[in-house]
Chain A
Amino acid sequence: MSRIMTIWLPRWPVQRRLIERPELRRRPVFVCRRERRGVMTVVAWAWAAPPRKTLPSAPAAGANPGRIPAGMSLAEAMAVLALSHGSRACHIAEVEHDDPVADLAMLEQLARYCRRFAPIVAIEKSPHHEPAGPECLYVDVTGTAGFFGGEGPLVRTVVWTLAARGIHARAAIADTPAAAWAAVHHTDTLQNDARQNDAHQGHAMGRGGRRRRWTIVPPGTQLQTLARLPATALRLDAAMLAQLRDVGIETIGGIARLPRKSLASRFAPQVSQRLAEFTGERPEPLLVPCSGELPTASQAFDFPLLLRDTSLDDLVAVIGRLLQECVAPLAAQGKGVMSLQVRLERTQSVDIRETCPPVIIDIGVFQPSGSAQHLVELVRLRIARMRMPREIGGITVEVVSAGTAECRQRTLFGEAAETSASQVGMLLDRLSGRLGRGAVFEPRPLADAQPEHAWAAVPPTASRSFRSKPRPTSGHRSMSEARSKRSHHDGPPAAYPIARSTALMAAPQRRPIWLLPQPVRLETLAVVDSALNNHADASSNPPARFRLAAQQGSHLHEVVKAHGPERIETAWWRGPTVRRDYYVVETATGARYWIFRRPGFRRLGSGPANRSGGEWFLHGTFA
């Protein structure tokens, strides 16, 4: 009997955008589709913040997607959001256009990633609910669950592995894809049923009543276990559900109790077909993405390879040979490797219950690479810093994604510039391979007055593509940015990223070249002379002497000159208001510092009066 695991990725269009742009996690994100006459309808939306109020029409507490169903107009959705989360939520909401092709492409990429759990991974064939696209993966785990210690550990591993990559997923295992699909979409219902049964039979509740994201339907019991689920779990369309509801049938069990012979004649063939797929009487073909498109090479050893007796060069040599096998067919198509995965398969332990997951090395490059030597070097950098297993039974190299390699016709003499550009690309790959992809970036300026947010770290490849081919940025601009553009029409448009930004940035002589990650509070030791007290706005003057408050016995700085203030204030809709008066001060030793004062300052001086709201902070140095 076959066993199928269904992985459900709720609101996948939104999740894909959150994976690509993690900064959106703080905002409500709407993925919308433009319908006829320009009406924007919601495909999916999500926000991590809990609602402030519960609407009377809300179907269930905590069911955010239920409040704004797919297909609702964007204006209506904004009104619902403002009622439940406050008007500020509408101001910071991010509206994205639907891109089903990109959604499907990333889902296919995820399907390839999930082949670490079982060799056959398929994508949901036809979307059940409009207008959202496919959101499920089918994994054929027949006979493979034992490698993970059983179906329970397997399904938990799947959910946790995806969660570690920032993907919210639910999983269920059943005999058929249809049964697993029904179970995974109603894990909460099944869990509640199980609790009620346990309470009825006097069993203790396990795990403190926590919500689980997985469920397992025992073999051959899908009709009994899932009988109480609603008929929507059979993936029937809305017209058929209404027809069943008219005759009082609302659950899968109700449909199953009908005579099979009259089922096809009384209802459309879809009902009997779905029921047959649910019970397994009719096989449901799985749509496996064309896995042969990207090459894979593997090497199995007759005896376990003891890494204690194997040098790193020997291991890398084997990986290099496999990489060459993968790169060669891609190069023939004019493609290069964008990301690949190296799996070091560990040998099975003597204890069959002990699971031995493979060691996985994910490699990504900034531009498609057709050089096996370069990729081997990246693998070597990663292996040299990893804790390796004692022995391995095989090595698999799999190309996860590929891109069109940049090919240019060579000139007769001058190919130096192209060589330099490719060398820089390889350097960036090496640096990011060892330091991490987030540790190597190209800074891009942003039109933001707050110093911490005045620039963004952009992957080098992304920034270069923007430079070479500027795109319209309105598609990625948030509503708050669009609104600010209307209100502050005297300045250039705020956009991300922007290639030439000198006009948008503050004067460079007013910005330090070193900025502290967090402002450091200063202890002001100013000696105020009498003339200061007569000054109308004496409270805004910078300190005459200061030192770092956090360091006892730190160097005392004596200010001889100051430039300022420069008021930097953020808008109210960005959350906690930032209001600072910045000064560039020069000390007696010639050092220049960038300090600021928070509002609420009444008197210049040290002591408790200064801590009430007029504190001074060191934010940067003109190093």
Chain B
Amino acid sequence: MVTRVFDDLGGLGLYFEGRETVTTGFPSLDRLLPAGGVRRGSLIEWLAGDASPDDAGGAISLACAVACRLADPRQGDQSRASQAATIVVIDRGQRFYPPAVIPWLDALADATGKGGGRPHLVVARPARDDDELWTIDQALRCPGVAAVLAWPRRVHATAMRRWQLASRASGAVGLLVRGLSERRPVGEPTWSDAKVAISPVAGEPDADLAVRRLRLSLAGGPWSGSEMLEERSTELRLDLTSGREATGRHRMPARPAAPVAGGGLQAGRLPVEEVVCRAS
């Protein structure tokens, strides 16, 4: 059904027509996304969570970094959607820790200069599932919101369709972090512009604390017919210090590799660094 509709519309060209595309700030991710970036007024699903139920494997960090870039006033043209500088985080489980993200916003404001302000970060903590769905819908419907970041527990097709219409009307981008169980075969209908599966890359002996290596693969989207894509994947290095993509120049010098015995940790040769903070 969706395939037929898209064929009638002339494929991806008409579907994406009329909506501004902005870069995510991550060239690797831009190359992976079908539109070459993120369309204003669209939904992006981030599929993660196979490492542990308590961990999204870096998906939330990456989604936060993308949200910060979307709220950058220098992004895109001077249209109404590009003027929106508010990020809404819907935190149902009350786990979101803002100090990990606020430095990224400050760095963004520093890069913008005196003329631009710092994007606003608003956190909403609904107590119930229906409140969570309603909050996402309301935030996506607001023209002053640049991006909505959420990790909803229960999502049904009706809610996704409402969110799609709401985001398209306002220009806000919905970044939804979901479990890998939501991964569907390529070609199945979806209300989001893209589904990106994320998994952390482990086992690098000289891994730096400030850099997170993530493997991204495109796991779904509104393509159809001749545009049906095979699964594409790429690797991305997220700089946790600035919320941008790490490059080779900024790479920290590698520490001596710790020999691993039997797959475990040899704690005697740990790269130990001590920072003492005394609260006032």
Contacts and interface: CB of A to CB of B under 8 A. Distances in A.
Interface stretch (B29-37, B179-187, B223-231, B265-273): B265-273
B51 A488 contact: no
B59 interface: yes
Interface in B244-275: 258, 260-268, 270-275
Contact of A506 (B117, B138, B277): B277
A512 interface: yes
Interface residues of B, number: 87
B106 A502 contact: yes
A420 B80 contact: yes
Contacts of B165: none
Interface string B42-55: 00000000111111
Contacts, number: 282
Interface stretch (B6-14, B20-28, B152-160, B198-206): B198-206
B52 A515 contact: no
Contacts of B262: 527
A17 B118 CA distance: 30
**Best-buried of A430, A528, A591 by chain B (most CB within 10 Å):** A591
Contacts of A113: none
A422 B79 CA distance: 17
Contacts of B104: 508
Contact of A442 (B56, B120, B139, B142): B120
A557 B52 contact: yes
A578 B276 CA distance: 13
B102 A435 contact: no
B144 A424 contact: yes
Nearest to A480: B280
A418 B60 CA distance: 31
B264 A545 contact: yes
A588 interface: yes
A432 to B, nearest CB: 9
Given A417-B83, A439-B125, A623-B57, A511 B270 contact: no
A621 B54 CA distance: 7
B101 A559 contact: no
Interface string B229-245: 00000000000110100
B95 A517 contact: yes
A424 B71 CA distance: 14
B213 to A, nearest CB: 8
Nearest to B265: A544
B106 A623 contact: no
Interface in A495-533: 500-502, 505-517, 526-529, 531-532
A569 B279 CA distance: 6
Contacts of B273: 563-564
A589 interface: yes
A27 interface: no
Contacts of B121: 442-443
B64 interface: yes
A555 interface: yes
B270 to A, nearest CB: 6
Interface string A530-564: 01101100101110110000000001011111111
Interface stretch (A134-142, A309-317, A404-412, A452-460): A452-460
28 contacts: A420-B80, A420-B144, A423-B143, A427-B144, A427-B145, A440-B125, A441-B122, A442-B120, A443-B99, A445-B98, A457-B123, A464-B120, A480-B280, A505-B103, A506-B277, A508-B99, A508-B103, A508-B240, A509-B209, A526-B264, A531-B268, A544-B265, A555-B52, A557-B52, A558-B263, A560-B202, A560-B203, A621-B52
Interface of B: 50-61, 64, 79-80, 83-84, 86, 88, 94-104, 106-107, 109, 117-118, 120-127, 131, 134-135, 138-139, 142-145, 199-203, 205, 207, 209-210, 212-213, 240-241, 243, 258, 260-268, 270-280
Q: Which 7 A-B pairs have the closest CB atoms?
A: A590-B200, A590-B202, A541-B267, A484-B280, A443-B98, A420-B144, A424-B144
